[in-house]
C-alpha cells in the first residue's frame, strides 16, 4: 500500500527471515527478560509518528529495543507455568489468518472459517478420544471458555451455585465473580484431588472438575463427580486446559475417565498442542444451553441462512479465524507428530523426576501424571525461593513455583517442542549449582 511505509513482499521476506533466525537462535538467549519495570517503555518514543515509517524500522526496534524486554516462551528451557510452543504451521497460518482478516460473527461473514472451525473441533475430539457428536467451537482462552460453560449451566439448570475444588484455576473464581454466581470450594485429598465425598450439590448449577490442576497437575475424580452431578441434575464442566492434549496418546487416557459424562469440556490447544496463543477449544453436549446464554440477533445481523453462527456460543461477537492455525497444526504434525511430542515431554519429566529422587536433600512433592514435576530442596521456603531466583536471574532457564501443603515448591513444566534431554539436564545442574551457592 502506498500510504504506509510497508511493502508486503519485500518486508514479508525480511519478517519471515527474522522469524526463522529468531527460532534458530532462541536457545542462546536468556529465557527470562532481564529488565526492570518501565525500562522498555522509557526507551521508546513517547509519541506516535506523524509520517509513515518503513516497516524495516519496526523490525530494527523489535531487535534493538523490545528484544531485551521479552521473556522467551519459545525457548527450550522455558519451564515455568505451563510451557508451550508455537510450531511452524501455526505461525504461518497466523500470518494467513491476519491476511484474510476474516471476522466470523455470523456464518455469512465467514462461511469457510465457521465450517472449518466445526470440522477441526470434530477432528480434535476424535484425536483425543472424546465422544462423537459434541458441539465444538474455539474461544480465545480457557478463562472465556469457562465463562461460557458456566453461563450455559445457569441457563440449563436455572440454578446459580458453582462448585470447584480448592485447587481449581483462578479463572473459575473470576467467572463466578463476573457472572455473579456464588462459588463454593470443596476440600482436596492428600493427592490434591477434589474430595467427591465432600460434594454438596443441592443448590448447585455446575461443578468444575479439573484434569491437570495448575498447581500440581492433579486429576479430580471425574467418574465419581460425574455420578454425583448426574444424580443431582448438575452441569459438569471439565477443565482440562493443560492436560487434555495428553489424550492424543492412548496410554495417557486413564486421566480422561469420566470425561465422556461431561456437559462441557475445555482444552487449550495453545498450552500443550503446539498451537500459537490463543486457541481454547470448548465442547458441549448441550449446544442449545450455550445458545440460550448467548444468542442474540439484532436486526442488522439478520440473514436468511439458518447455518450455525459461532458467536451464538460465547461472549464475543467478532471472532478471529483461529481454526486455520489449529487445522494447520493438526495436518502438519498429524496424530503421530503430536503423540511423539507429548510422549517426549512425559519421558523428559520422568527423567528429571528420577534425578531429583536420586539426589539426597531434594524431594518430589506431588505425584506426576503428565509433564510437570513439583519438587523442592530440604530447608526453608526462603532457601528454595532463592534457588529459583538465582536460576531465573542467570537466564539459563525459567521456572515458576507453587505452594503445596503450605510449602514453597518449585515446578518444572515441560511443554516446549524444542526441549531436549540436554536442556533438562542443564537446568537440573543449574538448580544444583544455585542450591550450593546459597
Ligand X SMILES: Cc1ncc(COP(=O)(O)O)c(C=O)c1O
Q: Between 239 and 353, name the residue whose CB sits nearer to ligand X.
A: 239
Instruction: Give the three-class secondary structure for 405.
Output: coil
For the chain, the distance separating the N- and C-terminal CA atoms, rounded to the nearest angstrom, is 58
Between CA 135 and CA 326 the distance in angstroms is 17
CB distance 270 to 280 below 8 Å: yes
Strand order in the sheet with 407-413: 362-364, 372-377, 407-413, 400-404
Q: Between 31 and 243, name the residue whose CB sits nearer to ligand X.
A: 243
CB of 434 to ligand X, least distance (A): 25
Name the site residues for ligand X (rule: CB under 6 A). 82, 141-143, 169, 171, 210, 212, 214, 239, 241-242, 268, 280
- Beta-bridge partner residues of 266: 239, 282
Nearest to 305 by CA among 136, 110, 120: 110
Q: Report residue 1 as a C-alpha cell.
A: 500500500
Omega of the bond leading into 175 within 30 degrees of 0 (cis): no
Instruction: Write the burial class of residue 76 (CB in 10 Å: 0-12 exposed, 13-18 middle, 19+ buried).
Output: buried
CB of 355 to ligand X, least distance (A): 25
CB of 143 to ligand X, least distance (A): 3
Give CA 300 to chain center in angstroms. Answer: 35
CB of 399 to ligand X, least distance (A): 15
CB distance 245 to 212 below 8 Å: no
CB of 139 to ligand X, least distance (A): 9
The length of the chain in residues reads: 438
Q: Between 107 and 370, name the residue whose CB sits nearer to ligand X.
A: 370
Q: Between 387 and 399, name the residue whose CB sits nearer to ligand X.
A: 399
CB of 136 to ligand X, least distance (A): 16
Q: Between 210 and 435, name the residue whose CB sits nearer to ligand X.
A: 210
CB of 213 to ligand X, least distance (A): 6
Q: Between 94 and 239, name the residue whose CB sits nearer to ligand X.
A: 239
Q: Between 311 and 402, name the residue whose CB sits nearer to ligand X.
A: 402
Amino acid at each position: 500500500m502506498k500510504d504506509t511505509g510497508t511493502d508486503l513482499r519485500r518486508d514479508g521476506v525480511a519478517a519471515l527471515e527474522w522469524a526463522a533466525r529468531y527460532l534458530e537462535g532462541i536457545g542462546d538467549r536468556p529465557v527470562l527478560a532481564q529488565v526492570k519495570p518501565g525500562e522498555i517503555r522509557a526507551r521508546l518514543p513517547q509519541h506516535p509518528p506523524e509520517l509513515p515509517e518503513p516497516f524495516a524500522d519496526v523490525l530494527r526496534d523489535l531487535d534493538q529495543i523490545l528484544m531485551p524486554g521479552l521473556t522467551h516462551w519459545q525457548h527450550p528451557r522455558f519451564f515455568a507455568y505451563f510451557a508451550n510452543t508455537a510450531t511452524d504451521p501455526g505461525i504461518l497460518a497466523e500470518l494467513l489468518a491476519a491476511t484474510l482478516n476474516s471476522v466470523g460473527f455470523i456464518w455469512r461473514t465467514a462461511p469457510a472459517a465457521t465450517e472449518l472451525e466445526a470440522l477441526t473441533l470434530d477432528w480434535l475430539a476424535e484425536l483425543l478420544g472424546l465422544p462423537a457428536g459434541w458441539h465444538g467451537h474455539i474461544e480465545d482462552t480457557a478463562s472465556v471458555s469457562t465463562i461460557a460453560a458456566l453461563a450455559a449451566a445457569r441457563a440449563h439448570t436455572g440454578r446459580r451455585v458453582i462448585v470447584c475444588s480448592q485447587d481449581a484455576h483462578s479463572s473459575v473464581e473470576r467467572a463466578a465473580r463476573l457472572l455473579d454466581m456464588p462459588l463454593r470450594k470443596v476440600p482436596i485429598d492428600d493427592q490434591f484431588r477434589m474430595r467427591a465425598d465432600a460434594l454438596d450439590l443441592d443448590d448447585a448449577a455446575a461443578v468444575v472438575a479439573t484434569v491437570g490442576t495448575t498447581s500440581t497437575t492433579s486429576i479430580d475424580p471425574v467418574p465419581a463427580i460425574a455420578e454425583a452431578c448426574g444424580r443431582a441434575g448438575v452441569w459438569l464442566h471439565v477443565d482440562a486446559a493443560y492436560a487434555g492434549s495428553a489424550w492424543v496418546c492412548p496410554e495417557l487416557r486413564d486421566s480422561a475417565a469420566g470425561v465422556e459424562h461431561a456437559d462441557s469440556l475445555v482444552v487449550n490447544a495453545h498450552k500443550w498442542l503446539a498451537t500459537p496463543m490463543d486457541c481454547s477449544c470448548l465442547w458441549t453436549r448441550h449446544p442449545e444451553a450455550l445458545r440460550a446464554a448467548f444468542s442474540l440477533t439484532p436486526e442488522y445481523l439478520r440473514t436468511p441462512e439458518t447455518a450455525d453462527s459461532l458467536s451464538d456460543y460465547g461472549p464475543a461477537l467478532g471472532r478471529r479465524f483461529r481454526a486455520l492455525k489449529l487445522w494447520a497444526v493438526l495436518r502438519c504434525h498429524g496424530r503421530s507428530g503430536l503423540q511423539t511430542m507429548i510422549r517426549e515431554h512425559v519421558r523428559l519429566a520422568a527423567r528429571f523426576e528420577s534425578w531429583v529422587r536420586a539426589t539426597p536433600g531434594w524431594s518430589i512433592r506431588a505425584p506426576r501424571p503428565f509433564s510437570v514435576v513439583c519438587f523442592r530442596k530440604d530447608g526453608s521456603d526462603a532457601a528454595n525461593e532463592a534457588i529459583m531466583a538465582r536460576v531465573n536471574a542467570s537466564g539459563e532457564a525459567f521456572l515458576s513455583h507453587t505452594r503445596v501443603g503450605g510449602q514453597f515448591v518449585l515446578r518444572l513444566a515441560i511443554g516446549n517442542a524444542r526441549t531436549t534431554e540436554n536442556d533438562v539436564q542443564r537446568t537440573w545442574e543449574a538448580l544444583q549449582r544455585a542450591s550450593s551457592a546459597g
